Structure 1
Amino acid sequence: MTDRERLSTIQSYAWTLELLGEALVQQDDLLECEHNPQLGVRSTAGIHQAIRIISRLMAEQCGALFDGCGGEGQ
């Protein structure tokens, strides 16, 4: 994967994290009037898990990008 492809992937991950963050805000608003709190907790947990996975993938791509630059900036 080229550096440009890695940067594009990182940008996509960051955009997805932004969307997931917005989903958390909306989910929080829904939980205030939710009649089934268990469903809300499962949805929130799923969003948090997705954020963790994408953050890990983004960190891996950043690490590969730094390794490709000879570790500059570390």
Structure 2
Amino acid sequence: MTDNERLSSVQSFVWTLELLGEALVQHDEVLECEHNPQLSFRNTAGIHQAIRIISRLAAEQCGKLLKTDEEIPVDSR
């Protein structure tokens, strides 16, 4: 996988995390306003698990990008 592909993957992961985070915020607002929430505990747990998985994948790709940067000599004159 090239660096550009890794960056694109990280960008997609972060965008997905943003959407999942927004879903949790909306869920919290529903819980505050209604006594009959739209999302069940199981769905909320699934969103949290998805966030953990996507965060791990993004961290792995960032780690690979940082490792690539460390392999390139700083002074390549």
Matched with 1:67 is 67
TM-score with structure 2 setting the length: 0.80
Instruction: Using the TM superposition, give the Cα deviation of residue 27 of structure 1 relative to its aligned residue in structure 2, in angstroms.
Output: 1.2
Matched with 1:57 is 57
Matched with 2:75 is none
The one-character-per-residue Cα deviations of 1:4-55 (angstroms, maximum 9, x if unpaired) are 1100110000000000000001111222314369x52111111100000000
Kept in 2: contact 1:10–1:62 (CA 8 A): yes
TM-score with structure 1 setting the length: 0.82
- Partner letter of residue 55 of structure 1? S
Kept in 1: contact 2:27–2:37 (CA 8 A): no
Matched with 1:14 is 14
Total equivalences in the alignment: 71
Q: SS of 1:69's equivalent? A: helix
Structure 2 gaps of 5+ residues are 73-77
Q: SS of 1:45's equivalent? A: helix
Q: Distance in 2 between matches of 1:69 and 1:36?
A: 47
Structure 1 gaps of 5+ residues are none
Matched with 1:35 is 36
Q: SS of 1:57's equivalent? A: helix
